[in-house]
Amino acid sequence: MKTITSLLFLLIPFMGFSQDADIMYVPDQNTIVGTYNSNYSPIGYYVGGYLTTTRPQPYIYTTPLSILNRVGISLTNHKVSLMGGVFIETYVDEVKFKPDVWFKVYPLRILTKTEKGFDFTVGVNYMEGLRYGIGVVIPFR
């Protein structure tokens, strides 16, 4: 419960002032990735974290760094998006960083030829193999 609450407090203010934001689920890593683009700017950023459904034992302390697993920059034209950043792996005695590259497509915006409004997103990630993510774009107006 603590990790879910921490993730929500991380993502909700993160998307509160944006014109649109998308939340994408990556099933291979059990991760949620949130992307923020302000005022229809082509440059934004993204943050991801592990989605956990179990509570840790009361004597185990987990830091936000153990929940947060990726961060980076997003370049978009609101129909396709290229994201690049770093994937963070935390261990007991060390932290490892790996390059994280995403390519996302917004299919409804491509079909309707718009840059605004509700849409779905499909992302492909390359980091030690291909992964996919699916999500939803939430417009805030």
**Predicted confidence (pLDDT) per residue in 79-129, tens digit:** 899 999 998 887 777 888 999 999 999 998 888 888 777 888 999 998 888
**What's the total number of domains in the chain?**
1
Burial of 90 (0-12, 13-18, 19+ CB in 10 A): middle
CATH number for position 17: 2.40.128
| Stated pTM of the model | 0.74
Q: How far apart are CA 4 and CA 19, in angstroms?
A: 25
Range of the domain at 45: 2-139
**Tens digits of residue pLDDT in 29-43:** 888 999 887 766 788
Share of the chain above pLDDT 90, in %: 22
